[in-house]
Amino acid sequence: MFRASQLTKRYGDVTAVDAVDLEVRAGEIFGLLGSNGAGKTTMMKVFMTLLRPDRGAAFVDGLDVTHDSLAVRALLGYVPENPALYEKLTGLEFLHLLATLRGIPPDGATPLIDDAAKRFRLDRELELEMDAYSRGMRQKMALAAATFHRPKGLVLDEPTNGLDPRFTKILKAYLKEFAANGGTVLISTHITDVAEAICDRVAVVHDGHVAALGTVEAVQAQAGASNLEDAFVALVGDA
């Protein structure tokens, strides 16, 4: 579903992603595990067609992110690390606007939005203007916006930010269900417990490189560690 071949992205003299080869299979939950600044967000933005590679290539469902950007975006749902919302719209107005932009007619949008609202426990949030949202409410709305149209794949950058433990559990269950039904999830996190709980495979990202890739058990074995947190520290250091 997601594939990178010698993917390289630079910001001036800084190489954020350095000749990365990566393949995320259809129907799996794949985690990018790394510290802030490791290159996770840059990779995700390339897959979302928000950044162009400086070298190499990236593909989503066989589509080149550089040449087929609109088709790629139509396949995906995206939650950035800091979601931007239309502050003066209510949650319901916002979701209907997104449906219109995706070409979904109102009679088709309403049941999709209702499903997303139920899934992510959105109730009074739908009637409030979004400038009144708490951090957790904003994150729940961003998740609803990324998923209501039933995309083929999800790109989620630190999606548990701002969520309480109860809702984090709800999100984990949803992602497992999404993948079980054939969807593909690319998720970034620096929280090893999240990766251990839901990811089929992980890539440990450090300084723009993939330091290790495989199942959680395989990465632990590579690092000679008994858990993913210790494996991560062994692979990238504790500085």
CATH of residue 162: 3.40.50.300
Range of the domain at 225: 2-84+151-236
- Domain assignment of residue 155, yes or no: yes
Q: Looking at the predicted structure, is the pLDDT value of residue 218 above 70?
A: yes
Which has the closest alpha carbon to 168: 148, 187, 145?
A: 187
- Domain assignment of residue 69, yes or no: yes
Q: For the chain, what is the HEC assignment?
A: CEEEEEEEEEECCEEEEEEEEEEECCCCEEEEECCCCCCHHHHHHHHCCCCCCCEEEEEECCEECCCCHHHHHHHEEEECCCCCCCCCCEHHHHHHHHHHHCCCCHHHHHHHHHHHHHHCCCCHHHHCEHHHCCHHHHHHHHHHHHHCCCCCEEEEECCCCCCCHHHHHHHHHHHHHHHHCCCEEEEEECCHHHHHHHCCEEEEEECCEEEEEECHHHHHHHHCCCCHHHHHHHHHCCC
Lowest-confidence pick of 41-45, 160-164, 179-183, 199-203: 160-164
Which pTM does this prediction carry? 0.96
- Domain assignment of residue 137, yes or no: no
The arithmetic mean of pLDDT across residues 182-195, rounded, is 95
d(CA 13, CA 23): 27
- Domain assignment of residue 15, yes or no: yes
- Domain assignment of residue 208, yes or no: yes
Q: What is the pLDDT of residues 79-138, one digit of tens each?
A: 999 999 999 999 999 999 999 999 999 999 999 999 999 999 998 899 999 999 999 999
The arithmetic mean of pLDDT across residues 1-13, rounded, is 98
The reported pLDDT for the residue numbered 237 is 85
- Domain assignment of residue 102, yes or no: no
- Domain assignment of residue 146, yes or no: no
The reported pLDDT for the residue numbered 123 is 84
Q: What is the pLDDT of residues 62-81, one digit of tens each?
A: 999 999 999 999 999 999 99
How many residues appear in the chain? 239
The arithmetic mean of pLDDT across residues 216-234, rounded, is 96
- Domain assignment of residue 93, yes or no: no
The arithmetic mean of pLDDT across residues 2-17, rounded, is 98
Q: What is the pLDDT of residues 25-36, one digit of tens each?
A: 999 999 999 999
The arithmetic mean of pLDDT across residues 202-226, rounded, is 97
Amino acid at 194: V
Mean pLDDT of the chain: 96
Band of the pLDDT at 150, cuts 50, 70, 90? very high
Amino acid at 184: T
The reported pLDDT for the residue numbered 239 is 54
Our count of domains for the chain comes to 1
